[in-house]
Homo-oligomer: A and B are copies of this chain.
Amino acid sequence: MTDITDSTDTRTGWLSDHELEQSRERLPIVYVDAVPVRIDSRGQVSHLGLLLRMMPDGSISRALVSGRVLYGELVRDALLRHIEKDLGPLALPRVPPSLQPFTVAEYFPDPSVTGFHDPRQHAVSLAYVVPVDGECSPSANALDLVWATPDEAAGPSVSAEMTGGQDRLLRLALAHLELLP
């Protein structure tokens, strides 16, 4: 959930940066979070994709694919757009046919409310696991992309490098996949 992501969004013309900032102080914002995964031919997850990102405060953090749903945009299309923006146009995401999210992450400016934290806004995020079949390359917004095994993703070193509660969201995804140790 980076500023960079959102200035890209606002360049589409739906909302100026100033207007978006104002709305963010008044309304919860609709978000999607995606955990990109590599699966084998049996559908079993072998690796989870983690971006490396410059955060608003200048720190660098591992992160999931995350961004807002635009006015008039379907959740399915927002998922595709954010995955392709972060993983490149050849990622071939396999958005699931049902959009029942595995969880709803509620991000607040106050980190103590739910543990999901976004200093800029109150966001209600629908979270999905999305297999990607194609070539993934970190986009301009991301510094790097690594593929972690389920055990690595559940481990303390990945956790230490993620902020805003996204390490917890990753563990909720691992649990949903029955891959949490």
A77 sits at the interface (CB 8 A): yes
User: Within the complex, which residue of B37, B80, B172 is in contact with A178, where a contact is CB–CB below 8 Å?
Assistant: B172
> Which listed residue (B71, B74, B97) contacts A37, Cβ 8 A?
B97
CB atoms of B97 and A45 under 8 A apart: yes
Partner of A175, one of B76, B122, B171, B181: B171
User: A144 CA to B91 CA in the complex, in Å?
Assistant: 35
Inter-chain CA distance A44–B79, complex, in Å, is 13
A-side interface residues, number (CB < 8 Å): 56
| A7 close to chain B: CB less than 8 A | no
Contact A44 B172 (CB under 8 A): no
- Beta-carbon contacts of A27-44 to B below 8 Å, as 1s and 0s? 111100000010100111
Q: With the chains together, A44 CA to B28 CA distance in Å?
A: 21
Q: List 24 A-B contacts (CB under 8 A).
A: A14-B26, A23-B23, A23-B27, A26-B71, A27-B71, A28-B30, A28-B69, A30-B30, A30-B124, A42-B77, A44-B97, A72-B122, A74-B114, A75-B104, A94-B131, A97-B177, A98-B178, A99-B103, A100-B103, A100-B104, A100-B176, A103-B175, A103-B176, A103-B178
